[in-house]
Amino acid sequence: MDGIETTTGTFCLNLPSRPQPDRGTILVTGATGYIGGRLVPELIAREYRVRVMVRARSPEYRERWPGAEIVEADAL
């Protein structure tokens, strides 16, 4: 399996390198966590449409994930 080599290891196995428009927007829950915090920038860099779910809005999120749609919600 091919993965993305980074300074912290390999991740995002089998992620198409370019977005597939017919697949729509990707919703990432847990974006501020360990995995989500690495996945969201990768998806944005690959030009996917990304929607990030956070518990509370913060100006920091716009800077952290430019181009992503930020939505405030609680999965519980």
- The pLDDT of residue 7 is above 70: no
Task: Give the pLDDT confidence score for residue 26 in this predicted structure.
Answer: 92
Instruction: Count CA atoms within 13 Å of residue 23 on its CB side.
Output: 11
Residues 72/51, Cβ–Cβ less than 8 Å: no
Domain boundaries, the chain: 4-72
Q: Chain-wide mean pLDDT for the chain?
A: 81
Query: Which band of pLDDT confidence, cut at 50, 70 and 90, is reported for residue 47?
Result: confident
Average pLDDT over residues 49-55: 93
- The pLDDT of residue 11 is above 70: no
In the structure encoding, which two tokens stand for residue 44, read together?
């944005």
Give CA–CA dist 2/35, Å, rounded: 18
